[in-house]
Amino acid sequence: MVLLFATLVILSFLCTVPGRVRVAVRLRPRNAEEMMADADFADCVEVQPELKRLKLRRNNWDSDTYEFDEVLTEFASQKRVYEVVAKPVVESVLDGYNGTVMAYGQTGTGKTFTLGRLGDGDASDRGIMVRSMEDIFADLSPDTDFVTVSYLQLYMETLQDLLNPANDNIPIVEDPRNGDVSLPGATLVEITDQQSILELLRVGEANRVAANTKLNTESSRSHAILMVHVKRSVVDSEDVVSTENNDASRLTKLSKPVIRKSKLVVVDLAGSERVHKSGSEGHMLEEAKSINLSLSSLGKCINALAENNAHVPFRDSKLTRMLRDSFGGTARTSLIVTIGPSPRHRGETSSTILFGQRAMKVENMLKIKEEFDYKSLSRKLEIQLDKLIAENERQQKAFEDEVEKVNLEAQCRIAEVERNFADALEKERLKCQMEYMELVKELEQKLVLNQERHDCNNFVADNGEINTSIFTCPNVKSFNNLAGGIIFFSHGPASSSADEVAEAKMLLETERNRRKAAEEEVERLKSQLGKHTQAENFFSIHSSRMNSVGLQKILSLLESDDANVRIHAVKVVANLAAEEANQKRIVEAGGLSSLLMLLRRYEDETVRRVAAGAIANLAMNEANQELIMTEGGITLLSMTASDAEDPQTLRMVAGAIANLCGNDRILMTLRSQGGIKALLGIVRCGHPDVLSQVARGIANFAKCESRASNQGIKSGRSFLIEDGALPWIVQNANNEAAPIRRHIELALCHLAQHEVNAKDLISGGALWELVRISRDCSREDIRNLARRTLSSVSTFKSELRRLRIDY
């Protein structure tokens, strides 16, 4: 973090102004005693307030005239006296100057009246002390300013705390550097409200009375000193200039904290009359001298100051030490001299007036006592620094957060764009690849077609005649459909193909005749149906509840001469075979042989369908599968398949063969006895349920075969390929019926695992399907299997490379 260091130029203006001691004279009205005693005499003074003059009668015809700063008549109100005498001083104190208000005069002339009246009964009587403190307090701001008060009495050079009278020997300590006087130990009471001002003065007055009683003296012999300390915090922002970067806008931002300490001293002096005149207190002379030492020292100091003497004997008394700043010092000082009108006290009045006159000549140099508040500045700067640090950290954090946020957003956006781009790219790539693959596929098919067409042309040329119903447009697909999926086109010589076709035609004709005869036979048998209801009842009873005798009986009925009986019997056996629990017994009782016999002997399709269903059920059991094989089951099932028209029959046969296809042990036999070809023959029936069974059979076979190849039991191309199943497999690999598709996809994957099949798979178009399976197959395991196979079988890899398909 970068800390800003500002160079602060602190300018301080301390005012020093000349300020002469201001002196007012106040004339007390005649008191009752004077009214009486002086009734016949004129006052010795005549006041001319408008001229600020006072005439002191010398005798009946002569008088001396004196000018004062203010002349206050006997009618002057306390308020006016305050405003004229004290208020300017109070204002100066509030401005930071020291101030002094002092009353001087003969006992009984109204010093205490002028300064100390509390105005309990009548607020207008309030004297200068109360009014000053009230004005000061009213002007202060409680948060930043303090006002504390001490109230002392000086008697016989002893300083006593009027707020704590027990503290009666307070030392006066002067600061050698600046001459500031302090009174360690004097009680300082903080003024917190207007009410406490009066209470404090009341306590002080009471203590003054009590102290005087104790000392057997009068208040007129002691000096009362009220000290009001004012401490104000002043913020002078204009004085603080930041020069950082020469940036003027920061000029007033920092402030200079200043503490102004000022002090108002209100002194109610002891009576100024000479000691000998008032020696009635019974003090010894020395004591009397001591009593007035401070007062006479004050007079001497004032004289010295008035005459501009080099030496002013401030140190002679405690009072002058305390008032050093008030006369000839830095304070604004106002003196009120009080006089009475009585001619009897003319001498005292005269000396009072002369004291006042001399005091008027004292020049002070008013100076604000201002202290630079380093503590406060340091505190403020620390706080400001803390704030700046916190703000900076906050901004830094906010900035970092913002950067992070922007970063994150940018990253998210980049990631999103990249993702979208990658997706789009991948889609585009796949699309191109698929298009490319389709194109290649199409081209290769065209190539095959052209070759076939070429062969075909050769064939026509060789034989001169052709059965167009079979050979028109001999592409693989249409050929397969026409030939029922059993007879496969061979690329051998054209003549042998023609023989095969002729043979097939013959077979077909024979079969048709047979079917016709069989249908006639069925009709005949149906007419006998009514006769055998009894037998049917018997069968239906036994179909649900069977004992071995019953089973034997039913099985024997399978060989009945009566076709209806046979039909019903085979239905019962099929029902029984559907339950796994019966299967073993049926086989043991020779049921399987009987059922196979039905396939062999009878051409009634219902019988064969039901028998095939029963065999399919029995073929679910592995133990029966070999038996079925040994008894030539495959051949019989193949025959049934090639004869049957009914999809149900075909479904049963296909189901039975599919079950057998799942047996590793009979794999070879199954194939050699034409199992696969039988399955392929069945596909001529387009019924999805039938195709699904075929597909299952092929998948089972492919799986067993793959296992056998892996175990080294079998070598060479897949029998499925050998037996021509590949075209159908490829054709149905993406069949819309999910069960068919799933079985074929699996079969393809098994086939593809063996390098030996790869070439055929490629030429048969299976590669495309494998690629599709690896991408689109809904089953993840098959998808992965296809992917693994494509990337591990080298023929595929090179073909994919040749086709420029990334894998």
DSSP label at residue 83: I
| Spatial distance between the Cα atoms of 525 and 642, rounded to a whole number of angstroms | 24
- Residue 764 near which of Mg ion, ligand ADP, none (CB within 5-8 Å, type-dependent): none
Residue nearest to Mg ion (CB): 112
Contact by Cβ (8 Å): 589, 551? yes
User: Among residues 27 and 685, whose Cβ is nearest to ligand ADP?
Assistant: 27
| Spatial distance between the Cα atoms of 453 and 467, rounded to a whole number of angstroms | 15
| Spatial distance between the Cα atoms of 613 and 620, rounded to a whole number of angstroms | 11
Query: Taking CB under 5 A as the rule, which mask of x and - marks residues 249-278 in contact with Mg ion?
Result: ------------------------------
Burial of 562 (0-12, 13-18, 19+ CB in 10 A): middle
- Provide, rounded to whole angstroms, the least separation between the CB of residue 105 and ligand ADP: 6
**Which segment (26-34, 231-239, 385-393, 537-545) binds ligand ADP by CB under 6 A?**
26-34
Identify residues 677-716 at the interface with Mg ion (CB under 5 A): none
Binder of Mg ion out of 100, 109, 112, 364 (CB under 5 A):
112
Print the SS3 string covering 492-515.
Answer: CCHHHHHHHHHHHHHHHHHHHHHH
Query: Taking CB under 6 A as the rule, which mask of x and - marks residues 179-218 in contact with ligand ADP?
Result: ----------------------------------------
DSSP structure string for 556-591: HHTT-SSHHHHHHHHHHHHHHHHSHHHHHHHHHTTH
How many residues would you count in the chain?
807
Q: Tally Cβ neighbours within 10 Å of residue 548.
A: 10
- Provide, rounded to whole angstroms, the least separation between the CB of residue 110 and Mg ion: 8
| Spatial distance between the Cα atoms of 269 and 322, rounded to a whole number of angstroms | 13
User: Among residues 103 and 200, whose Cβ is nearest to ligand ADP?
Assistant: 103
- Provide, rounded to whole angstroms, the least separation between the CB of residue 176 and ligand ADP: 36
- Residue 204 near which of Mg ion, ligand ADP, none (CB within 5-8 Å, type-dependent): none
| Spatial distance between the Cα atoms of 807 and 798, rounded to a whole number of angstroms | 10
- Residue 232 near which of ligand ADP, Mg ion, none (CB within 5-8 Å, type-dependent): none
Q: Tally Cβ neighbours within 10 Å of residue 472.
A: 12
- Provide, rounded to whole angstroms, the least separation between the CB of residue 111 and Mg ion: 5
194 a known binding residue?
A: no
DSSP three-state, residue 788: helix
First and final CA of the chain: distance in angstroms?
56
Contact by Cβ (8 Å): 141, 166? no
Contact by Cβ (8 Å): 663, 622? yes
- The 3-state DSSP composition of the chain as helix, strand, coil percent (nearest 5) reads 60, 15, 25
Q: Of 795, 784, 787, nearest to 762 (Cα)? A: 795
Identify residues 267-296 at the interface with ligand ADP (CB under 6 A): 271
Identify residues 607-666 at the interface with ligand ADP (CB under 6 A): none
Query: Taking CB under 6 A as the rule, which mask of x and - marks residues 78-117 in contact with ligand ADP?
Result: ---------------------------x-xxxxxxx----
- How far, in Å, are 641, 671, 702 from residue 663 at the CA level? 20, 12, 11
| Spatial distance between the Cα atoms of 226 and 161, rounded to a whole number of angstroms | 10
Residue nearest to ligand ADP (CB): 110
* Cβ neighbours of residue 707 closer than 8 Å, sequence gap 6 or more: 664
Identify residues 326-345 at the interface with ligand ADP (CB under 6 A): 338
- Residue 110 near which of Mg ion, ligand ADP, none (CB within 5-8 Å, type-dependent): ligand ADP
Contact by Cβ (8 Å): 108, 340? yes
Binder of ligand ADP out of 6, 31, 46, 196 (CB under 6 A):
31
Contact by Cβ (8 Å): 100, 333? yes
Contact by Cβ (8 Å): 261, 229? yes
109 a known binding residue?
A: yes
252 a known binding residue?
A: no
User: Among residues 255 and 296, whose Cβ is nearest to ligand ADP?
Assistant: 296
DSSP label at residue 82: I
User: Among residues 154 and 189, whose Cβ is nearest to ligand ADP?
Assistant: 154
User: Among residues 271 and 328, whose Cβ is nearest to ligand ADP?
Assistant: 271
User: Among residues 105 and 681, whose Cβ is nearest to ligand ADP?
Assistant: 105
- Provide, rounded to whole angstroms, the least separation between the CB of residue 93 and Mg ion: 23
Size, binding site for ligand ADP by CB under 6 A: 14
With tokens 């080298």, the residue in question is 794
User: Among residues 19 and 110, whose Cβ is nearest to Mg ion?
Assistant: 110
**Which segment (24-32, 578-586, 603-611, 662-670) binds ligand ADP by CB under 6 A?**
24-32
- Provide, rounded to whole angstroms, the least separation between the CB of residue 78 and ligand ADP: 8
Angle (CA) 208-22-370 rounded to 5° is 80
- How far, in Å, are 420, 425, 430, 495, 607 from residue 415 at the CA level? 8, 15, 22, 67, 68
Cα torsion through 735, 741, 743, 748, rounded to 10: 80
640 a known binding residue?
A: no
Asked if 28 touches ligand ADP (CB under 6 A), the answer is: yes
357 a known binding residue?
A: no
- Provide, rounded to whole angstroms, the least separation between the CB of residue 29 and ligand ADP: 5
716 a known binding residue?
A: no
Query: Taking CB under 5 A as the rule, which mask of x and - marks residues 59-98 in contact with Mg ion?
Result: ----------------------------------------
| Spatial distance between the Cα atoms of 615 and 607, rounded to a whole number of angstroms | 12
State how far Cα 631 lies from the chain centre. 80
User: Among residues 112 and 649, whose Cβ is nearest to ligand ADP?
Assistant: 112
Contact by Cβ (8 Å): 259, 231? yes
Q: Of 163, 159, 168, 126, nearest to 148 (Cα)? A: 163
- Provide, rounded to whole angstroms, the least separation between the CB of residue 33 and ligand ADP: 10
- Residue 28 near which of ligand ADP, Mg ion, none (CB within 5-8 Å, type-dependent): ligand ADP
User: Among residues 77 and 481, whose Cβ is nearest to ligand ADP?
Assistant: 77
Asked if 127 touches ligand ADP (CB under 6 A), the answer is: no
Ramachandran sector of residue 160 (left: φ over 0; alpha: ψ -120 to 50; beta: rest): beta
| Spatial distance between the Cα atoms of 132 and 92, rounded to a whole number of angstroms | 12
Size, binding site for Mg ion by CB under 5 A: 2
User: Among residues 254 and 319, whose Cβ is nearest to Mg ion?
Assistant: 319
- Residue 338 near which of Mg ion, ligand ADP, none (CB within 5-8 Å, type-dependent): ligand ADP
Asked if 221 touches ligand ADP (CB under 6 A), the answer is: no
Tokens of residue 629, six digits: 């094989």
- Residue 148 near which of Mg ion, ligand ADP, none (CB within 5-8 Å, type-dependent): none
107 a known binding residue?
A: yes
111 a known binding residue?
A: yes
- Provide, rounded to whole angstroms, the least separation between the CB of residue 334 and Mg ion: 18
- Residue 242 near which of ligand ADP, Mg ion, none (CB within 5-8 Å, type-dependent): none
- Provide, rounded to whole angstroms, the least separation between the CB of residue 349 and ligand ADP: 12
Tokens of residue 611, six digits: 């028998």
User: Among residues 116 and 633, whose Cβ is nearest to ligand ADP?
Assistant: 116
- Provide, rounded to whole angstroms, the least separation between the CB of residue 332 and Mg ion: 24
Binder of ligand ADP out of 92, 220, 222, 342 (CB under 6 A):
220
Residues in touch with Mg ion (CB under 5 A): 111-112
Annotation: binding site: 105-112
Chain residues in the site for ligand ADP (CB under 6 A): 28-29, 31, 105, 107-113, 220, 271, 338
Binding residues for ATP: 105-112
